[in-house]
Amino acid sequence: MIQEFFEKPVNREKLRNDLFDGLEVSKNRKNMRDFHKYPVIYLNFKDDESNNYESAIEYLKDKISDLFKYQGEKINIENLKNDEQTKWKKIKDMKENETGLTQSIRFLCDCLIKFYKRKCIVLIDEYDKALMNSFEKKYYDEMYSIIKSLFSNTFKGNDNLYFGITTGCLPLGLNSFYSGVNNFYECSLLKDQYFNDCYGFTENELNKILSDFGITHTDDQRDMIRKKYDGYTCHTNGQGTIKNLYNPFSIMNFIKEYSSKKGKKIEYGDFWCNSGKEIIIKKTIEENELSFTKNFLSLLYGNIIVIEAAKEIVLKENYNEDEIMIILLDSRYLTLSDEKEYKKNINNMDDQMTKALLNKIEVNNLSLDEPESTEEYENSYQIEKYKHKIINEIEKKKRKYV
């Protein structure tokens, strides 16, 4: 949709000016000044299933070749200088070497500005898919180097770049990829002051969607929709927390299923877990025995836990528990909470669950100033003391509640 909005069309007969009619973006005159004005370069790694580094390079050559073919249909490349035409053809014919490949998008920006007289917008979607696939297939280091060089050449010091957007599920190497890039903003569920209500459908948006598709529902059915597909939360850089964001992928698949089975029993499918995002998740949970940890069992029971929030994820064989939790959070299998809910959760935790989650050593090491009492009273007092201890030890810096 970003490409549809910004990209300057060549064939006026294929204009879709009505695509954004009635949407919020079309109601702002300032926004519409940029409508259909820029050359847009769009690269998507979602279908990268390369089995080794050599096939990954061929995949990248093919994807970038398609970019040059697409743009070549919209401009007359014969107006470029001879050496530029030669380089263009070399990239298009997939004959460029690896170094030239990592510089190709920047070169495309240099060429397009000569025709459009405007800087380029670069969109790179699901960049982490290529890295996750390379990690699974054992050529991660080489692929990481190529992606890093591609990003650096495209975004760093590119005078013909208007702006760029990179999307991914996991924040893999972003700090090093964008090292030295001016005006770099990282937006995520952990902190986003600009797009914090855009990670899912809000309650009002969901109501409108269900209404538009003629889906009527009882309170019980709405509660089930909320239970299955609600849950995203986004922190807003000190301005508060946006809660109750519904998974768009799951909601749209639910509507598709509902529409195809009118008159039949409503089924609330598990759509997100089959969306292809679970490569790293399965590997990390299985190899790090997460299923047997106290915090993981606590999550399954519906409790809130506290974790250290790493700024980025580095793919490796072994992870500590907090790193695994961040992977689950970024993959949308966990959601953020806040300190208020955490305290409430601790206070409301039943005694049996508290005992199950406590290590015996932790209980025995509690400093109890009360006189000896019955075993039942002592256990109860220890549990309350422990809860109070947890709440008082909350450290806000770099801590997240999930």
Q: Kindly report whether the global pTM for this prediction surpasses the value 0.85.
A: no
Token pair 């209404």 in the structure block, residue: 211
Q: Where are the beta strands (DSSP E) in 140-269?
A: 161-166, 232-235, 241-245
Residue 196: DSSP 8-state: T
Say whether 124 sits in a helix, a strand or coil. strand
pLDDT of residue 59 exceeding 90: yes
| Across 149-153, average pLDDT | 92
Of the two residues 92 and 310, the one the predictor is more confident about is: 92
The mean pLDDT of 3-21, rounded to a whole number, is 78
Structure tokens at 202: 């809000």
- Is pLDDT above 50 for 364? no
| pLDDT at residue 160 in the model | 97
For the chain, what is the mean pLDDT?
A: 80
Q: Which residues pair with 72 in a beta bridge?
A: none
Quick: pLDDT tens for 298-345.
777 777 777 777 667 777 777 788 888 888 887 777 877 777 777 777
Give the highest mean pLDDT range of 160-169, 341-350, 353-362, 389-398: 160-169
pLDDT band at residue 62 using 50, 70 and 90 as cut-offs: very high
Q: Spell out the residues 6+ positions from residue 42 whose beta carbon is closer than 8 angstroms to its own.
A: 3, 67, 123, 125
Is the per-residue pLDDT at 97 higher than 90? Answer: yes
What pLDDT was estimated at residue 360?
41
- Give the percent of the chain with pLDDT over 90: 33
**Of residues 191 and 48, which shows the higher confidence score?**
48
Rounded to an integer, the average pLDDT of 343-355 is: 68
Which tokens belong to 250?
Answer: 């799951």
Predicted local distance difference test score (pLDDT) of residue 263: 60
**Res. 25: pLDDT tops 70:** yes
- Asked if pLDDT for residue 65 goes beyond 90, the answer is yes
DSSP secondary structure of 18-79:
GGGTTSGGGG-HHHHTTTT-B-EEEEE-TT---SSHHHHHHHHHHHHHHHHHHHHTTS-GGG
**Of the candidate ranges 35-44, 155-164, 297-306, 384-393, the one whose mean pLDDT is the lowest:** 384-393
Higher local confidence (pLDDT), 356 or 1:
1
pLDDT interval class at 369 (50, 70, 90): very low
Q: Which residue has the higher pLDDT, 306 or 116?
A: 116
User: Cα(335)–Cα(328) distance, rounded to whole angstroms?
Assistant: 9
In the numeric block, the tokens 């809860």 are attached to 387
Spatial distance between the Cα atoms of 397 and 401, rounded to a whole number of angstroms: 12
Cβ(184)–Cβ(95) below 8 Å: no
Task: State residue 120 phi and psi, 5-degree precision.
Answer: -95, 155
Q: Is the pLDDT of residue 5 over 70?
A: yes
